[in-house]
Amino acid sequence: MPSSGRHWAIRVLCLFCVVSDAVCVLNTGMLFPRESSSREVKDLSGLWVFRADKSPDRNQGFDEAWYKSRLEQTGPVIDMPVPASYNDITQDYTLRDFIGWVWYEREVVVPTRWIADEGTRVVLRVGSAHYYSVVWVNGVKVTEHEGGHLPFEAEIGSLIRKDPTMLCRITIAVNNTLTLQTLPPGTIQHMTDRTMYPDGFFVQNIYFDFFNYAGIHRPVLLYTTPKAYVDDITVVTDFSDNTGLVRYKVSVQGAAPATLKVTLVDKDGHCVVSSSEPSGVLKVVDVKLWWPYLMHDTPGYLYSMEVRHLITGTETVTYVYTLPVGIRRVNVTSTQFLINNKPFYFHGVNKHEDSDIRGKGLDWPLIVKDFNLLKWLGANSFRTSHYPYAEEILQMCDRHGIVVIDECPGVGIKDIRSFGNTSLAHHLDVMDELVRRDKNHPSVVMWSVANEPAAEMPPAENYFKTLIKYTKALDPTRPVTYITDSNYARDRGAPYVDVICVNSYFSWYHDPGHVEVIPIQLHTQFENWFGKYEKPIIQSEYGADVVSGLHSDPPMMFTEEYQKVVLQNYHDVFDQKRKQYVIGELIWNFADFMTAQGVTRVVGNKKGIFTRQRQPKAAAFILKERYWRLANETGRLPPWTNCNLSPLR
């Protein structure tokens, strides 16, 4: 784990060292591994060998150096799919709730040409593994990473070339233990009363309401580049009248000086503008802007930026990378959120990466199903509650015009010990990685640095002041928020955000069963927050649990009728306040999801408007009618749109 002062001086300096043209220099690039004529990708998804370290201290694997030989030689192993959470795959309840180190292994045949060509870099990339990971190749440690939701990688070409006849054996140890300095935080509690608990019994305490799924959640890839390659691209867009402005910066590693050709291509494959400089501004005449879904007849319009690295003095191309680019502008006033100078109202959902069996594992059928449901619902946005989602999901949002509030895993920061320098240094690391990965997605319009922190605690003010200032230095082009449910008068971080995002569950956690209080309390909530801070407000969570198929009239808690009447009471107030300063409403939640076992949860959180299997509850139809009505009020619905048939094109 990183020490409290590991990068502290660098962090502080970076707050005051934003380079020209609103582009902050990050440590290294993290471009999505797209295939091209100069880049090959080998997907290692499938069955891996797996073993959980169930020794009392969970350290047997390191003590016995399991990474030095094939994992099956160390003891019993089982099959484990990647990507997937390991928790729900087997019938072993101890594995479902396992805390500690688990070990994955895969032997890979590396193409001969990759090994033979000394000029080819071979990179191992893990899309995400929860929470702390250590990676070995052929018994040699190549990297480690803290954090469960963002990619990490290592160059391994020299290792696999030591003995070209060997299979490439990849070993990944993953530990899901959470501490007061991790994101999200947690604590380990050891039970020492032997009249109550067996020897060595401990539990992981968490401060968030979703299951602590663990494992390798996104694809593991091998990919290649030449020795001279594009390490990073940063794009910032704007427009003036009908001219688009694409400010870009390309970083090249392994070659100096770099000879580049940067070309912007439209959807029809026509060259729009080009440059031979590593940075500059591309001017696009008669620009086609990136618009959100239901705000324009061609939402999600993307250009392609082709970056070619040339041998100096020739036209010989040695490297090609293509980056999708959406040209748009985002602004915030005291009462509005503007996209391309037009008021944008968030009518959308909160989500989770969560589904049966696979847990948080990336699953394409589920992703496509969810996008079909979002568009059927008339939702134009969602928030990545409570952690960064897969890059593949954001790419879908770019293409379909779904607006995203991109949230880091800063959920459940409730203990005063989580506001120290060690925690803050790690939080800054996470924001570095998040911005580096997602900065070029036009669908991402705002960063969320935390969810429901204990912002009333005195240390929170300096913590969030530093965190928000640092995030704005990384990316001055997007507003920053965090999600609050604390008392407006005691919130120490709210003065520094650009948009107030408020979670509230009137008539559920407060005054349960009394829906008649919702209009009064919600009105008071909005007036208090806006009166104090004069910033636009998003109702970032609201809702009620419902067991699908449970009915009652008059409505009672946990029935479909009760969820409907809660939503309708909230919507009445939204309709009043959205004419003033409320700029969005995000239902909690899109679909039911798994949580830790407890007396307040019946096999998970049931606040979804869809079941965990993506079947609609009655509230889904209430929201569908409302969202399509909101979209129609803008007067900008595309002519092909039909609220009964909104295809995923």
Residues 253 and 344 in one domain: no
Provide the CA 232 distance to its chain's centre, in angstroms.
19
Asked if pLDDT for residue 97 goes beyond 70, the answer is yes
Residue 643: Cβ within 10 Å count: 16
pLDDT at 549 over 80: yes
Are 221 and 242 part of one and the same domain? no
pLDDT digits (tens, 9 = 90+) for 369-398: 999 999 999 999 999 999 999 999 999 999
Q: What is the DSSP letter of 4?
A: T
Mean pLDDT of 613-623: 97
CB contact at 8 A, 271 and 308: no
CA nearest 409: which of 181, 220, 85?
Answer: 181
Identify which has the larger pLDDT, 511 or 13: 511
Answer yes or no: do 164 and 59 share one domain. Answer: yes
| In contact, 305 and 233? CB cutoff 8 Å | yes
Q: What is the pLDDT of residue 375?
A: 97
Report d(CA 200, CA 194) in Å as an integer. 9
Q: In DSSP terms, which residues pair with 105 in a beta bridge?
A: 49, 171
CATH of the domain at 352: 3.20.20.80
- Provide the percentage of residues in the chain whose pLDDT is more than 70: 92
415 and 488 part of one domain: yes
Neighbours of 23 (CB within 10 A): 20
Confidence of residue 276 (pLDDT cuts 50, 70, 90): very high
pLDDT at 318: 80
> From CA 7, how far away is CA 19, in angstroms rounded?
19
Q: Per-residue confidence at 366, pLDDT binned at 50, 70, 90?
A: very high
For residues 602 and 483, membership in a common domain is answered with yes
Question: Contact 226/120 with Cβ under 8 angstroms?
Answer: yes
What is the reported pLDDT for 2? 38
Question: For the domain that residue 150 is a member of, what is the CATH number?
Answer: 2.60.120.260
Task: State phi, psi for 556 to the nearest 5 degrees.
Answer: -130, 155
The whole domain housing 131 covers: 40-176+212-225
What the block records as the tokens of 171 is: 């070993």
Same domain, 260 and 218: no
Residue 521 lies in a domain: yes
pLDDT value at position 21? Answer: 34
Average pLDDT for 555-559: 96
**How does pLDDT run across 508-536, given as a tens digit for each residue?**
999 999 999 999 999 999 999 999 999 99
Is omega for the bond preceding 589 within 30 degrees of 0, making it cis? yes
Q: Which of 272, 302, 325 is the last residue of a domain?
A: 325
- Across the chain, mean pLDDT equals 91
Domain membership flag for residue 194: no
Helix axes 618-633, 560-577, angle to 10 degrees: 20
- Res 8: pLDDT: 38
Does residue 641 form part of some domain?
no
Q: Are residues 221 and 251 in the same domain?
A: no
Domain boundary among 278, 302, 325: 325
CATH number of domain containing 267: 2.60.40.10
Number of separate domains in the chain: 3
* CB 87 within 8 Å of CB 597: no
Is the residue at 26 inside a domain? Answer: no
Residues 260, 397 share a domain? no
Residue 123's nearest CA partner among 33, 252, 251 is 33
Cβ atoms of 480 and 446 closer than 8 Å: yes
Task: Work out the number of other CB atoms within 10 angstroms of the CB of residue 496.
Answer: 18
Residue 267 lies in a domain: yes
The predicted model gives 453-463 an average pLDDT of: 94
Domain boundary pick from 272, 293, 325: 325
Are residues 377 and 247 part of one domain?
A: no
Q: Residue 312 — pLDDT band, cuts 50, 70, 90?
A: low
Active site residues: 452
Distance CA 510, CA 517 (A): 10
d(CA 462, CA 483): 17
My answer on whether omega of the bond before 562 falls inside 30° of 0, hence cis, is no
Average pLDDT, integer, range 23-49: 81
Q: For residues 351 and 467, state if they share a domain.
A: yes
Q: Same domain for 495 and 413?
A: yes
Per-residue pLDDT at 62? 97
Shared-domain flag, residues 258 and 221: no
pLDDT of residue 313: 58
Residue of higher predicted confidence among 18 and 218? 218
Asked if omega into 83 is within 30° of 0 (cis), the reply is yes
What single-letter DSSP state applies at residue 478?
S
Predicted confidence at residue 368, as pLDDT, reads 98
pLDDT of residue 624: 97
Residue 519 lies in a domain: yes
Question: In DSSP terms, which residues pair with 136 in a beta bridge?
Answer: 141, 171
pLDDT tens digits, one per residue of 121-134: 999 999 999 999 99
Per the domain annotation, does 361 fall within a domain?
yes
Instruction: Please indicate, yes or no, if residue 511 is contained in any of the structural domains.
Output: yes
In whole angstroms, give the CA distance from residue 64 to residue 479. Answer: 49
Is residue 163 very low, low, confident or very high in pLDDT (cuts 50, 70, 90)? confident
pLDDT of 457 > 60? The answer is yes
Q: Give the pLDDT confidence score for residue 37 in this predicted structure.
A: 87
The C-alpha atoms of residue 276 and residue 312 are separated, in whole angstroms, by 12
**Per-residue pLDDT band at 635 (split at 50, 70, 90):** low
- pLDDT tens digits, residue range 80-96? 999 999 999 999 999 99
